[in-house]
Amino acid sequence: MSAIDDLRQTMARLRAPDGCPWDREQNHQTLTRCLIDECSELLETIDQLDLPHMREELGDVLVQVIFHAQLAAERAISTSTTLPGRSTRSWCAVIPMSSAPAA
């Protein structure tokens, strides 16, 4: 199992009826400030070229993305397993080189 799968399963457990009360009461709107804060912290590490800290902030942003994906999955909007394929298709449509076969 990949680290992403572990993170997805952890988030699902936290959101389960017997999971974490705080996580269970969150929604897309209540998490907006958390996502903005984590993105701001990531941008700060990029501006400062603080690569070791950037890795930590990337992880924090990833947790926020997985959290929002879990919320969407619960509402049958999308799932965290369909997001990467959807993102890849969108990216390939905008950047043709991204879909070129590897040399």
Does residue 93 have a pLDDT over 80? no
pLDDT of residue 100: 55
- Let me know if residue 39 belongs to a domain: yes
pLDDT of residue 98: 60
- Let me know if residue 103 belongs to a domain: no
Domain that holds residue 81: 3-98
| Dist CA 91 CA 97 (whole Å) | 10
For the stretch 33-57, pLDDT in tens is: 999 999 999 999 999 999 999 999 9
- Let me know if residue 20 belongs to a domain: yes
Spatial CA neighbour of 44 closest among 31, 61, 57, 60? 57
Number of domains in the chain: 1
Mean pLDDT of the chain: 85
User: Quick one: tokens of 51?
Assistant: 């690569």
> Would you tell me how many other CB atoms lie within 10 Å of the CB of residue 65?
14
- Specify the CATH number for the domain of residue 56: 1.10.287.1080
Does residue 86 have a pLDDT over 60? no
pLDDT band at residue 103 using 50, 70 and 90 as cut-offs: low
Does residue 18 have a pLDDT over 90? yes
- Let me know if residue 7 belongs to a domain: yes
